[in-house]
A and B are shown apart, each in its own frame.
Chain A
Amino acid sequence: MSEAEKPGIPDDLPEAVVDEWGRRFPVVWLLPLIALLIGGWLVVKAIVEKGPEVVIQFQTAEGIEEGKTLVKYRDVIVGKVKTVRFAEDLTHVLVTAEMVPGMERHLIESTRFWVVRPRVDSGEISGLGTLISGAYVAMDPGKEGDETQEFVGLETPPVIKSNERGTVYHLRAEKASSLSVGAPVYYRQIAVGQVTGYRLAKDHAFVDVDVFIEAPHDYYVRKGSRFWNVGGVDVSIDPEGVRVELESFASLISGGIAFETPLSLSNGEQAPEDTVFRLYPNYARTREKPVSRGYRYRVDLSGDVRGLQVSAPVELMGVRVGTVMEIDPYLDLKGKQARRTIFVELEAEKMLRTEARDGLKGDQLEKAVESRVEDLLARGLRARLETTNLLTGQKIIDLDLMADVKPVKLTSLDGYPVLPAAPGELEQLGEALTQTLAKLEKLPLDRMVRNADQMMVSLDKLAQAAGKALPSLLENTHEALDATDEAMRGVDALVSEEGALGTEFYAAVRELQLAARAVRLMAEYLERHPESLLKGKENAP
């Protein structure tokens, strides 16, 4: 290709200026690089941000929608339901939810899930917001446990959220008696906690009730606190009349529990979590039963123990200090009298003053109780079987200080200290009667009767003899009386005024009268003229 062959091209065409910059760096290739970076970052982010998946078991999937229903904690979205499917045996549904990243460490065994739906309970109405927004799965992160991916959802919202501070205690009751989950726990009639659950104990012997006492009120739960049931209305009849007690209206419907800490315990320490308490059926019963371990003593009773029951009170001068724990069915024939051993427990709290047992523990406390019992024994302490109710024949063990017994030392038998026994009051009475009768029985009645008979016979004879002698006797008597009469008349005549004796008597009396007057005159004169004693009587004027 030569210049000449190119027609029509003007020769004076300018030439383009060479771009000194030359071929520039292909900046445009940064774009796919950036896109790649962004894309890669998004992918990495998606992978990293993909939260953990959990599978939650529910009875029904009511209100749960795949890909829509959210998992919330404190109303913040922490996950979303991805799929809902059946368990293999169709007994429940498995809800798979994807949680937000970072939730892994909260997905532990104690974490709980439940579905929030509109709900009307005896105590409250909840979940109204879900009427519009639809149900959601609520999460309550647990505190401890291993990480897990599988959960069993709760069918009802938990009463206590894990973020609430407080302490869990367990109560043992004889029966559930209208308690329900969520029932309030009262302390001085202020609701301070709730029942979080109840179930039959393993051996079905009692009901385990879990209660949650909110902080700071849990501080008032002490080892010696007493819990009792306040559900429903408590109607009791006592000497003051009929008493109706109702803790609160709510407890009438859902049941409730109250507790009380004796003032003597109020400066102790809070009972540790999971402490087991006894749940008394009513307030009155909390007063009857021992609140702490008592110290065991044995009482060997000789009499009939009918009417004495385990858990019967042991009273010291009329105040309950312990409980009958065991009645040994074995009748001991070794001694003089057949005896039966009763085991009783004396409570340190009742036997000792608060100051005396403060700071004592275990053995020390036992020693303190023993020394107290020794003191009492020195004053003549005896255990007696007493009938408290003549109608039902209920009996108690009464510890009494008796004046007429000699003091004894505390001994122990088969490892238990012995409280010496004395016959009961009724028994004593019976014994006295028996003794009297026995003495009576010993009297020689036969002989006595025979003697009496003989005596009667001789008396009879005597009477007969007397009967025969009576007429002459009467006559003699008559004569004697006449003689006496005459003698009396003689005396009378003698004494009369006209009688010799009378005249003499009167003359003497007159003399005496005159003498008395003379003396009086002299006395008067002397009073007026005491000097006459020395000078003699002056001549009368």
Chain B
Amino acid sequence: MRASCLGLASCAVCNQLMRLPARRTGLCPRCGSQVYVRKPASLSNSWALLLAAVIMYFPANLLPIMTVMYLGSGQPDTIISGVIRLMMHGDWPIALVVFVASVLVPLLKMIVLLYLLLSVHRKSTFRRRERTRLYRMTELVGRWSMVDVFVVALLAALVHLGVLADITPGPGARAFAAVVILTMLAAMSFDPRLIWDREEDCQ
């Protein structure tokens, strides 16, 4: 038994319980906030943001994220080439951290979101509990990818030593930031309650 089956919803702001019109969405009669059973256009928004994130993922990884000039020599690096460089220098742990935070996490996040969205569309009942946990993890871990962007922004702002060393951000940094923000927004607009929605429950 759920409220939505009875055509009822509560205001997310003032918790006023109310009947919903046939459209299943409206404004709270008490505080005027929007009232909905599930986040409105959750799937559609999620899809749109995810798609945008996927598109931006390519430039984020293909374009150089920053250029480190050290003693007059240096070259722009993409995320992957930076990881490879770190590995070559023997900095395995750092390489791993960068790889996980900057490549793997955004990628996994997008894959997870894609999976969740598809499963909701198919109204799958497969391991709904685990899927919900997956969603929570995704939302939790997603923001940490922003660390990369902050590092680039900080270094670019701090390291301006002329000929000795100079760091300039590349176009990839912007795309990467866009990917992180878009995936976070996509995760936010996804309503995990959709995982549990089934027509049969209202029978």
Contact = CB atoms under 8 A, between A and B. Distances in A.
Contacts of B16: 14
B35 to A, nearest CB: 5
Interface stretch (A26-34, A217-225, A279-287): A26-34
Nearest to B203: A1
Interface in A389-409: none
Interface in B135-153: none
Contact of B59 (A16, A32, A42): A42
Interface in B16-64: 16-21, 23, 25-30, 34-35, 41, 44-45, 48-49, 51-53, 55-56, 58-59, 63
Contacts of A32: 48-49, 51-52, 55
A35 B23 contact: no
B124 interface: no
Most buried by A among B29, B53, B56: B56
B182 interface: yes
B155 interface: no
A293 interface: no
Given A28-B49, A31-B52, A32-B52, A13 B18 contact: yes
A67 B63 CA distance: 15
Interface string A340-380: 00000000000000000000000000000000000000000
Interface string A1-19: 0000010010001111111
B44 A15 contact: no
A39 B19 contact: no
A134 B72 CA distance: 9
Interface residues of B, number: 40
Interface in A31-87: 31-32, 34-36, 38-39, 42, 67-68
A71 to B, nearest CB: 13
A132 interface: yes
Given A35-B55, A67-B75, A28 B41 contact: yes
Given A13-B8, A13-B17, A28 B75 contact: no
B178 interface: yes
A132 B71 contact: yes
Contacts of A42: 59, 63, 171, 175
Nearest to A22: B23
A31 B182 contact: yes
A32 B73 CA distance: 38
B6 interface: yes
A132 B26 contact: no
A133 interface: yes
B19 A17 contact: no
B9 interface: yes
B182 A132 contact: no
B6 A16 contact: no
A14 B63 CA distance: 55
A16 B44 contact: no
A16 B56 contact: no
Contacts of A68: 73, 75
A16 B28 contact: yes
B59 A17 contact: no
Contact of B56 (A6, A38, A132): A38
B29 A39 contact: no
Interface string A130-147: 001110000000000000
B72 A133 contact: yes
Contacts of B26: 15-19
Nearest to A133: B72
Contacts of B18: 13-16
B contact face: mostly helix, strand, loop, or mixed = mixed
A39 B48 CA distance: 15
Contacts of B71: 132-133
A451 to B, nearest CB: 119
Interface residues of A, number: 25
A36 B55 CA distance: 6
Give the residue among A9, A16, A35, A133 with the most B Cβ atoms within 10 A.
A16
Contact of A15 (B21, B53, B58, B75): B21
A39 B75 contact: no
A9 B49 contact: no
B40 to A, nearest CB: 8
Contacts of A18: 21, 23, 26-27
Contact of A132 (B21, B23, B45, B72): B72
Contact of B51 (A9, A13, A35): A35
A68 B85 CA distance: 14
Given A26-B44, A68-B75, A17 B51 contact: no
Contacts of B171: 42
B48 A26 contact: yes
B7 to A, nearest CB: 10
A133 B56 contact: no
B58 A39 contact: yes
Contacts of B182: 31, 35
Interface string B69-99: 0011101000000000000000000000000
B49 to A, nearest CB: 6
A449 to B, nearest CB: 114
Given A16-B35, A26-B48, A39 B72 contact: no
Interface string B107-142: 000000000000000000000000000000000000
A134 B70 CA distance: 12
A368 B175 CA distance: 85
A17 B51 CA distance: 33
A132 B73 CA distance: 8
A16 B27 contact: yes
Contacts of B51: 31-32, 35
A39 B45 contact: no
Contacts of A132: 71-72
A28 B6 contact: no
A134 B73 contact: yes
B19 A35 contact: no
9 contacts: A16-B9, A16-B19, A16-B21, A26-B44, A35-B56, A39-B58, A42-B171, A67-B75, A132-B71
Given A32-B48, A35-B55, A132-B72, 14 more contacts: A13-B19, A14-B19, A16-B26, A16-B28, A17-B28, A17-B29, A19-B27, A26-B41, A29-B44, A32-B49, A38-B59, A39-B56, A42-B171, A133-B72
A-B pairs with the 9 shortest C-beta distances?
Answer: A16-B26, A35-B52, A133-B72, A32-B51, A32-B52, A35-B55, A31-B52, A17-B27, A28-B45
Interface of A: 6, 9, 13-19, 26, 28-29, 31-32, 34-36, 38-39, 42, 67-68, 132-134
